[in-house]
Amino acid sequence: MVRTPLTEDQRDRGRALGQVLRAARGPRSAASVATEAGISLDTLRKIERGAIAAPAFFTVAALAQALDLDLTDLARRLTPEDDRSRLAG
């Protein structure tokens, strides 16, 4: 299966997701968060640095739960302003 290349906006959003997750993790170890979310430490590290720019929904949901993040708030933080106003209108 061949994947469609990600756009620059999608890659930027992936990097922003990584920054949010890393900040939410705070002083907790990446290993403990990965274990709680049921993903590998390598996967969490790749998401945090933006190497996995579009992780699966259930991976993001598991990380959000492990980090006590609200998925709606997380999506809102990662959606550009112009997209939010277009979706709301």
Got the DSSP string for 11-25?
HHHHHHHHHHHHHHH
Query: Which residue type, as a one-letter code, is found at position 59?
Result: T
In a domain, residue 2? The reply is no
Determine the pLDDT at residue 85: 54
d(Cα 70, Cα 12) in Å, to the nearest integer? 21
In a domain, residue 84? The reply is no
Determine the pLDDT at residue 35: 98
CATH of the domain at 41: 1.10.260.40
Structural tokens at position 28: 């907790």
Determine the pLDDT at residue 44: 98
Query: Which residue type, as a one-letter code, is found at position 71?
Result: L
- For the chain, the domain total comes to 1
* pLDDT > 80? residue 4: yes
Contact 18, 33 (CB under 8 A): no
Strands (E), the chain: none
Average pLDDT over residues 70-86: 78
Average pLDDT over residues 48-75: 95
Q: By residue range, what is the domain housing residue 58?
A: 9-76
In a domain, residue 87? The reply is no
In a domain, residue 82? The reply is no
